[in-house]
Structure 1
Amino acid sequence: MASISLQNIAKVYPGGTKAVRDINIDIKDGEFIVLVGPSGCGKSTLLRMVAGLETITEGKAKIGDKVVNHVEPADRDIAMVFQNYALYPHMSVYNNLAYGLRNRRKPKDEIDRRIREAARMLEIEQYLERKPRALSGGQRQRVAMGRAIVREPEAFLFDEPLSNLDAKLRVSMRGEIKRLQKRLGTTSLYVTHDQLEAMTLADRLVVLNGGEIEQIGTPLDVYHKPASTFVANFIGSPAMNLMNAELHGNRLAIGYNVLELGSYAPVSGPVIVGIRAEDLQPYEQPGLTIKAKLDYSEELGAVRLAHCLIGEQKIVAALSPEEPLADELNFSIDTEKLHFFDSETGQRIPKVKEAAETNEAAQASGESLINA
């Protein structure tokens, strides 16, 4: 297995279009990294540059200790799983799995051992003599994964491998991919636009926007401390509530609501304030309550989503399905759960306590962020 290092990577197409800009990621040996972002953010282009299917305009890509910028894809010792399976329709499952190994002139008994082992892992032993057309979508995806596994590569690259599957099968295959990756311990780079898929699979997320990195972190770090309004809006379902507000001293005004924040207000003036739907509690608390008008609700079984308005600003609250609804609702706010963002740049504004914790961690590592 091997680490992957991307240093100042950029991709510029003829005509000057910059698909990827100044990407820096260090992927540890055995780590599962997910590239997530909307269509056109550069995630597939970045994956294809690691695979050698796209040339790197600027920067350096390393697999292990080897710089691979000008190494042919076949010589990079990686295996790729595609969205469309890419199976040979005229070959049996066994021969699909064996094809790449035969091209590399592996011994026959070695080929058979690898295929049987991968088939047991993926529970496709009974399908080895079938043709791809006789398999379901999930079975074909397992074969595509098996073809990558038998290679025993330094790294797996996944290019939206589950996007052709139905919702129930996607959930099942997510679990299989996670279990397999942990069992094999192979460094993996996975591309998806589905933030739920990204959250459930990743050791760390790389959130991309417009060809640049918005944030790198564990799924929970990204969820609980989004680096920007883009990340806050993209990660989480429903998305974080983001509202224009005014912060003066310890008083936060959101429309006609005024909250008393305590002693850790980060700035003064216009801000964007964020709060997750599950952090809106349906009861009143003096000085910590916002009032909103109910617009409509969605019944999802285990949860009820109440879509509300504060003036013209929309918020969503995740409530118990037994919670009674009225035309006007009161929500108690835990001020520790509020997030603040710069009203112009959209970048996160650390609260005083949060900034102090960051500085302590930085000082412990020999760096100081006090004046950053």
Structure 2
Amino acid sequence: MMNHSKTLPEVTTTKDSIREKLKQLVSLVGVSGSEQEVVKFLKESLSSISDEVKVDNSGNVIAVKHGMAAGPKIMVSAHSDEIGLCVKNILPDGYIAFDKIGGVSDQLLQGRKVWITNKKIPGIIGIKAGHMQTPEESRQVKSSQDCYIDVGAASRKQVEEMGIKIGDAIVFQSDFMEMHNKDLISCKSIDNRINCAILIELFSQIKASDFAGTLYGVITVQEEVGLRGATMVGNALEPDYAIVLDTIPAGDTPDIDTEKSLPVYLGKGPACPVSDSVPGMAFTHIHPKVREMIEEQSEQADVQVQYLTLNGDAYTTDAANLAVAGKGIPLGVLATPRRYSHSPVELVNLNDADGVLKIVKGIVEANGNKDLNFI
């Protein structure tokens, strides 16, 4: 007897979609100031699911979707850039001196594989052979000024013939690694490609009939070096309110006093930094009505949110500049927890990302239902 049963197609879940987009996004080189490849990918991904997509001259991506009726302008934003390095000089013997861009720890440098330019030219940050190190040298952390990159060249000319030039972006080489629990992903640039993936999925799921007003999906440049793109876009769009999507360090590792210093856990839902600051540089306190939106939609979606403050702990997001752009923009922050911040092994739980999406989707669908009066 012939078996006429058919194999059912695999059901693609929201987490699967976020996972696939994240895998593509983290494979790209997009250091602050050199986000072109990421911006190109985002524009192409959003074009078919938006009413309009444009990229300004600085690289900020602005996707627009109109709702079924008049209503407020809501902006949901993430940033496209990642921390990294750049070529400072090509030395006569073929080695490369480099500068840091963004918050790169010197502890991460020696013995690392890197990619140079968006063509991913391979290189190695050299380390003195262990056999030749003095006991003192073995305990030292070299600064970036004392390090060099080896691309296997014997002269400046050979390096230049590879297509490498001064100012070229450099990132740590990092594979997309699924842990034993497949919901846990480790790689570079989780900050903030995970929220770029979430924003794409939001536009994919939301329909014009689902909400009133206008949705602006914005992906900013140069967040890691001063929240620069947020200022540009906030002044240009002047939305009625905004939700900033970013990542946040998880404090649930043995080297952090979690409950006292950083009460954020991987796998326990999105975080909402109610207040954060970098002394002398930035301060954010989310708007009370936008906080109410987050609370209401998290309850409706049955998603736990981890609320905290991080004042004076060198943590901030685009929200700091966006809040004071234009005439002032009421906003809230939803952050995806990730361990091992600003390293090539950042670790994220896709369930937390899915929670971010559920809450922000609910906020968009309820757009216009809440007034934004401060009192």
Same fold by TM-score greater than 0.5: no
TM-score, normalised via structure 2 length: 0.23
TM-score, normalised via structure 1 length: 0.24
The higher radius of gyration belongs to: 1
More strand by share: 1
Q: Comparing both chains, which one has the higher relative contact order based on Cα–Cα distances under 8 Å and sequence gaps of 6 or more?
A: 2
